A = this chain, B = another copy of it.
Amino acid sequence: TNSYRIAVIAGDGIGTEVMPEGLRALQAASEAFGFELDTTEFDWSSANYYSRHGQMLPDDWFDTLRTFDAIFFGAVGWPDVVPDHVSLWGSLLQFRRHFDQYVNLRPVKLLAGVPSPLAGRAPGDIDFLVVRENTEGEYSSVGGIMFEGTERETVIQETVMTRTGVDRVLRYAFELAQSREAKHLTSATKSNGIAITMPYWDGRVAAMAADYPDVRVDKFHIDILTANFVMHPDWFDVVVASNLFGDILSDLGPACTGTIGVAPSANINPDRRFPSLFEPVHGSAPDIAGRGIANPVGQIWCGAMMLDHLGEHAAAAAVQDAFEAVLARGDSSVVTPDVGGSGTTQTLGQAIAAAI
């Protein structure tokens, strides 16, 4: 029987609440489909680890994690203990970079049983994928401050795009679009205003489009693109975006499908030299943490994406079918408040595990 070594990092806040349900679903899938999951938990959180050690990760984190088949991640960040930019640059963003997880794949799908805030939209109307560049671009650590503490204070941060970095994520997005029925790729840009990096991005998109004559390519500036997510979410199939624009679109998209609580993301190292990382789009959510009402579907959907990545396609499909069916059933004593129920993280997680 196949066996997979999974590093589990629940993190902070609702990360610690949804993770048990994510693991419960994976456990059910492993029993039903006859593979083994060998999980190791790491308590690398702001609230516990940082408080005790003054850093988010032990010095040997890279060697510790690199031999795992995948990383199953909850959420990190607890601003009362440590500012977000310290906690995130101290963990999640390090993983993305050092494990070269250059694709962040984020499905946006309106599910039956989840009411959309958009008028007149039904399941089937919204079903697309955001492919986000995940290692460079606007998320750079280059820059600094000059004349600090004076009236002349000037702060600079550099956006850095490389041909390697841009082309590989575009290649992934073009391949993905080509594999789908609609064969439609939308590029997020802002070349009219951000006039150095974004025209470069546009140029690489145009150059690569020549290799994929069967893919229909369009582009929108990020401002009108966000507007179109609301006005015309049915226009999209695969949307490729820089690190920051992908970050924005992959929160806005799920909001249009009713709740970011169900949205998953896969931080993928496509060449498989390093483990990929699977984390829900929602964060640690200090506002609802501790109440046991966080929606576990984001974490469970991440589990499905992880199984797919590991090659357990049938199990992945079963997990996906299970949470879609439980949400569609919409038993209000089972589903969580964000989708209109009075259930808890546990009741929803248990119902999904039972359905697997």
Taking Cβ atoms with an 8 Å cutoff, the residues of A that contact B are: 77, 83-85, 87-89, 93, 115-120, 138-139, 141, 143-145, 150-164, 190-200, 222-224, 226-228, 230-231, 243-244, 247-248, 250-252, 254-256, 260, 283
B226 and A251 contacting across the interface, CB-CB below 8 Å = yes
Nearest CB of chain B from residue A96's CB, rounded to whole Å: 11
Residue in A143, A158, A192, A244 whose Cβ sees the most chain B Cβ within 10 Å: A192
Q: Which residues of B contact A252 (CB under 8 A)?
A: 223, 226-227, 230, 252
**A197–B146 Cα gap in the complex (Å)?**
12
- CB within 8 A of A199: which of B85, B115, B154? B85
B195 and A141 contacting across the interface, CB-CB below 8 Å = yes
**A277–B116 Cα gap in the complex (Å)?**
38
B83 and A194 contacting across the interface, CB-CB below 8 Å = no
Q: Which residues of B contact A199 (CB under 8 A)?
A: 83, 85
**A157–B158 Cα gap in the complex (Å)?**
6
List the B residue with the shortest CB-CB distance to A254. B227
**CB-CB nearest 10 A-B residue pairs:** A227-B255, A84-B192, A153-B163, A223-B251, A85-B195, A157-B196, A119-B119, A226-B252, A143-B196, A157-B197
List the B residue with the shortest CB-CB distance to A199. B85
A191-B84, A230-B256 known; A155-B160 Cβ under 8 A = yes
Residue in A143, A164, A252 whose Cβ sees the most chain B Cβ within 10 Å: A252
- CB within 8 A of A195: which of B89, B153, B154, B164? B89
A197-B157, A231-B255, A247-B193 known; A226-B226 Cβ under 8 A = yes
- CB within 8 A of A161: which of B154, B224, B247? B154
A194 and B163 contacting across the interface, CB-CB below 8 Å = no
Nearest CB of chain B from residue A280's CB, rounded to whole Å: 13
Nearest CB of chain B from residue A327's CB, rounded to whole Å: 18
Nearest CB of chain B from residue A284's CB, rounded to whole Å: 11
A260 and B139 contacting across the interface, CB-CB below 8 Å = no
- CB within 8 A of A260: which of B83, B138, B227, B250? B227
A117 and B193 contacting across the interface, CB-CB below 8 Å = no
Nearest CB of chain B from residue A195's CB, rounded to whole Å: 4
- CB within 8 A of A192: which of B77, B156, B193? B77
A158 and B158 contacting across the interface, CB-CB below 8 Å = yes
**A157–B161 Cα gap in the complex (Å)?**
9
Nearest CB of chain B from residue A193's CB, rounded to whole Å: 5
